Amino acid sequence: MLKAVILIGGPQKGTRFRPLSFEVPKPLFPVAGVPMIQHHIEACAQVPGMQEILLIGFYQPDEPLTQFLEAAQQEFHLPVRYLQEFAPLGTGGGLYHFRDQILAGGPEAFFVLNADVCSDFPLSAMLEAHRRQRHPFLLLGTTANRTQSLNYGCIVENPQTHEVLHYVEKPSTFISDIINCGIYLFSPEALKPLRDVFQRNQQDGQFCLALGEDSPGLWPGAGTIRLEQDVFSALAGQGQIYVHLTDGIWSQIKSAGSALYASRLYLSRYQNTHPERLAKHIPGGPRIRGNVYIHPTAKVAPSAVLGPNVSIGKGVTVGEGVRLRESIVLHGATLQEHTCVLHSIVGWGSTVGRWARVEGTPNDPNPNDPRARMDSESLFKDGKLLPAITILGCRVRIPAEVLILNSIVLPHKELSRSFTNQIIL
Amino acid sequence: MLKAVILIGGPQKGTRFRPLSFEVPKPLFPVAGVPMIQHHIEACAQVPGMQEILLIGFYQPDEPLTQFLEAAQQEFHLPVRYLQEFAPLGTGGGLYHFRDQILAGGPEAFFVLNADVCSDFPLSAMLEAHRRQRHPFLLLGTTANRTQSLNYGCIVENPQTHEVLHYVEKPSTFISDIINCGIYLFSPEALKPLRDVFQRNQQDGQLEDSPGLWPGAGTIRLEQDVFSALAGQGQIYVHLTDGIWSQIKSAGSALYASRLYLSRYQNTHPERLAKHIPGGPRIRGNVYIHPTAKVAPSAVLGPNVSIGKGVTVGEGVRLRESIVLHGATLQEHTCVLHSIVGWGSTVGRWARVEGTPNDPNPNDPRARMDSESLFKDGKLLPAITILGCRVRIPAEVLILNSIVLPHKELSRSFTNQIIL
């Protein structure tokens, strides 16, 4: 019997996903037409013997989250429970805190998945590797090129045994081109090292309080466990942590730009896994190029041309003569006639006026390098806003005939002119 | 009998005031220690014969607004009512829509004040000018230098009669160095031209369905539809002032307005200015400290500092040219300059939070705030540092010329960035 735990974080995290995370918790943001973590749950549900899926995080269980849980349970015929941390406990603290719930029923092992990754989730391959040689921790690893690896958790492995010899999170110089995917398979024995870390961090936390140090972010608070630093780095080379390499699709989803890239990866995968989700050209319907997802309730005019890599959400209206490419249109938005939307995310309920052009600049990894990953995605460099995906927050109104280029527009804003390379608060 | 109308706008306006306007409606943002429109109400309450103050806007009447209205009525012994527009009606549409409420009781005239201006409100002088020669519209005007005037509504006047001959809102080339303060005195006859504009805009509105470029049906833009259209027809006059005046469109101009009001307190409200007392912090220049704030004795405050309710200022803090909003905490030895620290935020020990002021040239009495865009050529212009609500700045870092959105917990230094 197996279980899966999805770490969904909380509102104090994921602030790089603003302004999109103002409206919906980041784990529920739609990627390729379905909420981000639905891809995780679908993959878990296909592993034979999967008994239960637990979501651990710090969000208040508001309506979008509750509705999602109910829908997921019905669709996948699996219990899907949300365990809310009493305080932010770090990437590993929730696992330790809810160990009773995780180990209830005596699972042989449990997957641990970060919510903000996009992957083809080779869970069965990981399970086989684990069953061949059971260890407490099995990490899924993939490759990155030398410069980009510095943005990720780097793994030095023994090429024969696949033991993790060293682990460094975001190193300052090159360590290894194998990076941590944020997808793990732990056996119940993993809880013991977690307990040791927990107790040590509790002592350190109390020591810091005694010193009068009250500095969040530099020292782990009492009861928190950072998987990467406190467990993987500390236990590497001691025969407890192993890595399983994959060359399937993988990307981290930290910002809106990477959500668009992840959308493209998932949409291309739909050709094999969910062909019914990809739109086809039908007589009287819009022209479709490449991979496009259109929600059944969306209204798209026949003269529109969509794709490649387009997701259209619930109740969206796409007018005559619209060109939509490499973009996500969130539900309730309206693209009026003859607009051109490229490399952008159009927020919930927004309106783009006639003949307006909404355009961003993609920062996608080099498609010719299979090991290329998203770069570290800061918005600014030397005080200048780097060209990136254009994001319109919820209920933004773009007037007719303007250009919105490489800009981020915060919710409820009504623009009156063109903007390039700006954040419009 | 007189009345006053304060136009407070709505949430779809004032977005340049973000991230500060996420937490509180802009008209209630504290400037020099009290809500922005309290300065307006105080000035109106001092005009003999003032009967009632009406606030017109599009905000939902939420708790901060309702509490403010009750407090204002008690303090000034005047009815203060909020009339909520059913839809955003433009700078003049609310006046026309609520004309019955404004004209009830037959006022001789009524002041109209924009909420987002800082002024010494020379209302009695305007009233005298109006009584000498009654006209439908009297605008308060002040002077700006040639380049900056382009950011404002420009008035060309007849220097003898003070009639407004031309009015252009934000012209593209220099028209006049007299600018519109957003403070008016209208007589009841002003409603007639408003009605003509309303009916004309209703017809136009039905032809075109594009928001933002054409006024929607029922909206009236005072500046374009009334002042520009009626200039030179003997209906609109201007009264010039050289008192303090500034527009409050962004957080940076709120800080500048705070300085203007704080300096004015020396004459009007000396009890609001903090003085150095033994065992208390050192005070330089004009400083407002809310009675419930806790300030350590080794802190040095000012000039131009406002400290809100329940704020904690630790030992050895240097605070200058800044606003600290209520519930915020400045830990020991921090240095906060040219910044606004948001509600409930925490600044860690030895951190330096610093902005760059864009104040008008103090040597030029006619200098005004420049048009305050955040970006130029894709680069973020150095400006006041703003920490939104409940932002946590760790110890020993530098936050320079940056805007931090609410609830963000930073982990390192940032310069010249907007941190979403």
Return the bridge partners of B84, or none.
Answer: B57
Rounded Cα distance between A78 and B247, Å, is 59
Q: Is A270 contained in some domain?
A: no
**Residue A414 C-alpha, separation from nearest chain B C-alpha, in angstroms:** 7
Full-model pTM: 0.81
Percent of chain B surpassing pLDDT 70? 95
Task: Quickly state the pLDDT bin for A218 (edges 50, 70, 90).
Answer: very low
Q: Is B35 contained in some domain?
A: yes
Confirm if A358 and A336 have CB atoms less than 8 A apart: no
Contacts of B373 in chain A (CB under 8 A): 422
Return the bridge partners of A281, or none.
Answer: none
Q: Among A60-69, A105-114, A170-179, B302-311, which is the least confidently predicted range?
A: A60-69
**Residue A54 C-alpha, separation from nearest chain B C-alpha, in angstroms:** 27
B382-407: string of b/e by CB count within 10 Å (b at 16+)?
Answer: bbbbbbbbbbbbbbebebbbbbbbbb
Q: Which residues of A lie closer than 8 Å to B, measured between beta carbons?
A: 11-12, 15-16, 18-19, 215-218, 353-354, 379-380, 382-385, 387, 397, 399-400, 406, 408, 410, 412-416, 420-425
Residue A152 phi, psi (nearest 5): -125, 180
pLDDT of residue B199 exceeding 50:
yes
- CATH code at position A160: 3.90.550.10
Q: Is A267 contained in some domain?
A: no
**Residue B11 C-alpha, separation from nearest chain A C-alpha, in angstroms:** 9
pLDDT of residue A53 exceeding 50:
yes
Rounded Cα distance between B111 and A127, Å, is 76
β-pairing, A137-143 vs A178-186, is antiparallel
- Which amino acid belongs to residue B102? I
The domain total for chain B is 2
Confirm if B262 and B120 have CB atoms less than 8 A apart: no
Contacts of B19 in chain A (CB under 8 A): 425
Examine the fold and report which residue of B247, B262, B296 is the final residue of a domain before the chain moves on: B247
| Out of B11, B213, B416, closest to residue A383 by CB | B416
Q: Is A408 contained in some domain?
A: yes
Q: Among A324-338, B116-130, B187-201, B206-220, which is the least confidently predicted range?
A: B206-220
Looking at the structure, tell me whether residues B279 and B235 fall in a common domain.
Answer: no
For B21, the closest chain A residue by CA position comes to A425
Cβ contact A382–B416 (<8 Å): yes
CA-based end-to-end distance of chain A: 50
Q: At what angle do helices A90-97 and A191-211 cross, to 10 degrees?
A: 120
User: Once rounded to an integer, what is the mean pLDDT over residues B360-367?
Assistant: 77
pLDDT digits (tens, 9 = 90+) for B154-190: 999 999 999 999 999 999 999 999 999 999 999 999 9
User: Once rounded to an integer, what is the mean pLDDT over residues B221-246?
Assistant: 92
Q: Is B190 contained in some domain?
A: yes
pLDDT digits (tens, 9 = 90+) for B105-118: 999 999 999 999 99
Looking at the structure, tell me whether residues B16 and B152 fall in a common domain.
Answer: yes
Looking at the structure, tell me whether residues A41 and A171 fall in a common domain.
Answer: yes
Rounded Cα distance between B304 and A195, Å, is 53
Q: Among residues B54, B110, B106, which one has the least CA distance to residue B85?
A: B54
pLDDT digits (tens, 9 = 90+) for B301-340: 989 999 999 999 999 999 999 999 999 999 999 999 999 9
| Out of B15, B409, B418, closest to residue A217 by CB | B409
pLDDT of residue B273 exceeding 90:
yes
Got the DSSP string for A231-252?
IIIHHTTTTSEEEEE--S-EEE
pLDDT digits (tens, 9 = 90+) for A90-112: 888 899 989 999 999 999 999 99
Return the bridge partners of A34, or none.
Answer: A31
C-alpha R_g of chain A: 22
β-pairing, A317-318 vs A334-335, is parallel
β-pairing, B153-157 vs B178-186, is antiparallel
Looking at the structure, tell me whether residues B138 and B186 fall in a common domain.
Answer: yes
Dig out the tokens for A133 from the structure.
Answer: 């040689």
Looking at the structure, tell me whether residues B328 and B225 fall in a common domain.
Answer: no
**Full domain range(s) for residue B162:** 2-247
**Residue B88 C-alpha, separation from nearest chain A C-alpha, in angstroms:** 13
Looking at the structure, tell me whether residues B285 and B403 fall in a common domain.
Answer: yes
B240 in helix, strand or coil? Answer: strand
- CATH code at position A300: 2.160.10.10
Cβ contact B18–A425 (<8 Å): yes
Counting other chains too, the contacts that A192-201 makes at CB distance below 8 Å and 24 or more residues apart are: A192/A136, A193/A136, A193/A231, A193/A235, A193/A240, A194/A92, A194/A95, A194/A96, A194/A99, A194/A225, A194/A231, A195/A96, A197/A92, A197/A96, A197/A225, A197/A230, A197/A231, A197/A234, A198/A93, A198/A96, A198/A223, A198/A225, A201/A225, A201/A230
Return the bridge partners of B337, or none.
Answer: B320, B354
Looking at the structure, tell me whether residues A215 and A283 fall in a common domain.
Answer: no
Q: Among A367-376, A384-393, B218-227, B375-384, which is the least confidently predicted range?
A: A367-376
Three-state SS string over A45-99 comes to HCCCCEEEEEEEECCCCCHHHHHHHHHHHHHHCCCEEEEECCCCCHHHHHHHHCH
Examine the fold and report which residue of B231, B247, B263 is the final residue of a domain before the chain moves on: B247
Looking at the structure, tell me whether residues A66 and A198 fall in a common domain.
Answer: yes
**Residue A276 C-alpha, separation from nearest chain B C-alpha, in angstroms:** 37
Examine the fold and report which residue of A236, A252, A268 is the final residue of a domain before the chain moves on: A252
Got the DSSP string for A283-318?
TTS-EE-SSEEE-TT-EE-TT-EE-SSEEE-TT-EE
Three-state SS string over A386-411 comes to CCCCEEECCCCEECCCCEEECCEECC
C-alpha R_g of chain B: 22
**Residue A289 C-alpha, separation from nearest chain B C-alpha, in angstroms:** 31
Dig out the tokens for B21 from the structure.
Answer: 């306007």
pLDDT at A220: 52
Q: Is A259 contained in some domain?
A: no
Q: Is B252 contained in some domain?
A: no
| Whole-number Cα distances in Å, B313 to A198, B308, B403 | 35, 11, 21
Looking at the structure, tell me whether residues A246 and A283 fall in a common domain.
Answer: no
Contacts of A218 in chain B (CB under 8 A): 394-395, 411
pLDDT of residue A270 exceeding 70:
yes
Looking at the structure, tell me whether residues A13 and A111 fall in a common domain.
Answer: yes
Q: Is B327 contained in some domain?
A: yes
Q: Among residues B333, B247, B315, B321, which one has the least CA distance to residue B288?
A: B321
Contacts of B212 in chain A (CB under 8 A): 353, 397, 399, 414-416
Q: Among residues B265, B276, B314, which one has the least CA distance to residue B293?
A: B314
Cβ contact A15–B405 (<8 Å): yes
B260-269: string of b/e by CB count within 10 Å (b at 16+)?
Answer: bbbbbbeeeb
Confirm if A361 and A406 have CB atoms less than 8 A apart: yes
B411 in helix, strand or coil? Answer: coil
Question: How deeply is A70 buried, as exposed, middle or buried, from its count of CB atoms within 10 A (0-12, 13-18, 19+)?
Answer: exposed
Task: Quickly state the pLDDT bin for B206 (edges 50, 70, 90).
Answer: low
Dig out the tokens for B125 from the structure.
Answer: 């002088």
Looking at the structure, tell me whether residues A52 and A186 fall in a common domain.
Answer: yes
For A382, the closest chain B residue by CA position comes to B416
| Whole-number Cα distances in Å, A55 to A45, A59, A373 | 14, 11, 27
pLDDT digits (tens, 9 = 90+) for A344-385: 999 999 999 999 999 999 888 877 777 788 776 678 888 888
pLDDT digits (tens, 9 = 90+) for A275-319: 999 999 888 899 999 999 999 999 999 999 998 999 999 999 999
Looking at the structure, tell me whether residues B126 and B171 fall in a common domain.
Answer: yes
| ipTM at complex level | 0.71
